[in-house]
A and B are shown apart, each in its own frame.
Chain A
Amino acid sequence: MNAQYALLAPEITLAVVGLVIFSVGLLIPKGSRQGMVPLTVLGILVTMAVAGAQFFSNVNGSFLDGMYLADNYASFFKLLFLAAALLVVLSSTEYVQKLPAHRGEFYGLILFAALGMMVMAGSGDLITLYVGLELMTISFYVLVAYLSEDGKSGEAGLKYLILGAVSSAVLLYGVSFLYGLTGSTVITEIAAKLGSGMSPATILALLLVLAGFSFKISLIPFHMWAPDIYEGAPVPITAYLAVASKAAGFAALVRVMLVGLKAQALDGNVAVALAVLIGLTMIAGNLMAIPQKNFKRMMAYSSISQAGYIAVGLLAGTPDGVKGVLFYSMIYVFANMGAFTVATVVSTAQGSDEIKDFAGLARRSPLAAVVMTVSLLSMAGIPPLAGFVGKFYLFKALLDQGWVPLVFIAFVMSMVSVYYYLLVTRTMYMEEGADLPKIGVSGATKFTLLVTMLVTLFLGIYPSPLAKMATIAAASLFR
């Protein structure tokens, strides 16, 4: 029994680091508390090393009769969450210095959110999954409302709290149905008990679970919260919410749907319903992004549409599709973090995040402008950037399953997205912005910018290493 605890090594490490950061924060007098960046970064790196070691030594084990799993699939997502957390921490060093209060806890909460996500990715049981989900979400409630003097932030926090509770309730309702139908909350057992049967109750359970997760990954029409909350939250948290929280939602959703409810989830009509949701998400998400004036709000709609692309892999339901989900989620972390880091920089310097604030950024901060361009174009799926390869994997997987019209929509909408991404680029490169300040980037922020850009470029040109990792991870899900 004791040996099994080794499987939990990444989670335990991160929990300890989180607690230590909270404790250290208490030992320092209140006035002089800082972000504790070095400690946080070190903690994340150590956890990454542990999770990486598990991934590369092919640890595939389960804990407490399958209630908790440590497989390559989970390890891949753990690496993803940690990478996202690391980039958020590094990109927000200067931003945190401007926070009105509670600077010490900022990073601790980010770590606990990451811990919650890791539990979500690893849980083989719906209750454990829910605990992870709540740990993540509650951390986010606090983080979203962090700017206590900014009304928007507080409003966003409250909205997220209430709507998050609603979605959790719906999810739990679905879980309770599943428990009622099968007498188990362990995902594999649910699959075994349900077989291929399909009754109104199963459909209801499935859709409730789907809706609960769709809220987290912001599939239309469960997306209503996203624009308001993205706009109100502190910029680094918006980024974290957009990439990591969404990826965690996908991690859990894919496992529940493709392992627990495989026979039901991809059955004709449910699949069609899912396809409609995805199509709607891609179309409306992209089109509504076009008229946005606020960068964060635009990125909210953009991230909604990106969720549509990723969900394509779920709909495919094959190892190739899951591979696409994994690959795209990972590169999306870097692309989105690149864009949001630039937004953080601009927001820290100018105190606002309207798109027009980016005017002349190419002159005021060339590096930031280049990183923004690369990130946005990657999200638009323009070769030779990573986003192109990712979309290629996803759409190919879907095409294999014969969903030609949906692939067509995905393509057209990718083209449409180029339009609003280029609007930002145009503002940065072609508009004067003469009265706006020069922005210098340095230290950790510069590092983050360079890393995100280089990874996006590298994976676009040579995607094999990550693609291989994603393939292995996807295979472990279907074992």
Chain B
Amino acid sequence: MLNNFGAIGILLIFAIALPVILVTVPKLLAPRKYSKEKGTVYECGMETRGETWVQFKTNYFLYALVFVAFDVETVFLYPWAVQFRKLGTFAFIEMFIFIAILLVGFWYAWKEGALEWK
């Protein structure tokens, strides 16, 4: 019984100890020399300007969501198009229903102004 928990216990101790060691050992061993360059956010690339907490337009998300929806649609259309002859009329009608549903969604997004960048 105890053996069973023993293994778990060892795992727990080890799992906690490892990160602690990994963080503290460099702290103790590594030389600390501060310079201005090290204090900056990025060590290379563009200098950042202004606040990091900037607000940006939610329209971006709407755009992205609508894009993803219609992008993924193609994934369904593609196999259907390949096997179109085999599947017959029923699948043809089915796909039209599918597209119709998507179109309603598209219409909705359009009408509600999701596609306008104000």
Direct A–B contact in complex, judged by CB atoms less than 8 Å apart: yes
Chain A residues in the interface with B (C-beta under 8 A): 1-2, 19, 22-23, 26
- Decide yes or no whether B101 CB sits under 8 A from chain A: yes
| CB atoms of B90 and A23 under 8 A apart | no
**How many residues on the B side are at the interface (Cβ–Cβ under 8 A)?**
7
Chain B residues in the interface with A (C-beta under 8 A): 90, 101, 104, 107-108, 111-112
Smallest beta-carbon distance B60→chain A, Å: 18
A68 to B15, CA, bound (A): 44
| CB atoms of A26 and B107 under 8 A apart | yes
Smallest beta-carbon distance B8→chain A, Å: 12
Closest 4 CB pairs of A and B: A26-B111, A19-B104, A22-B108, A23-B104
| CB atoms of B90 and A26 under 8 A apart | no
Q: Which residues of B contact A26 (CB under 8 A)?
A: 107-108, 111-112
Smallest beta-carbon distance A327→chain B, Å: 36
A1 to B88, CA, bound (A): 12
Q: Which residues of B contact A19 (CB under 8 A)?
A: 101, 104
Given contacts A23-B104, A26-B107, 7 further A-B contacts (CB under 8 A): A1-B90, A2-B90, A22-B108, A23-B107, A26-B108, A26-B111, A26-B112
Q: Which residues of A contact B101 (CB under 8 A)?
A: 19
Smallest beta-carbon distance B25→chain A, Å: 34
Smallest beta-carbon distance B61→chain A, Å: 13
A23 to B109, CA, bound (A): 11
Smallest beta-carbon distance B107→chain A, Å: 7
Of all chain B residues, which has the CB nearest A26?
A: B111
A23 to B90, CA, bound (A): 25
| CB atoms of B104 and A22 under 8 A apart | yes
A26 to B113, CA, bound (A): 11
A23 to B54, CA, bound (A): 36
A192 to B80, CA, bound (A): 33
Q: Which residues of A contact B104 (CB under 8 A)?
A: 19, 22-23
Q: Which residues of A contact B108 (CB under 8 A)?
A: 22-23, 26
Smallest beta-carbon distance B100→chain A, Å: 9
Q: Which residues of B contact A2 (CB under 8 A)?
A: 90
A189 to B107, CA, bound (A): 41
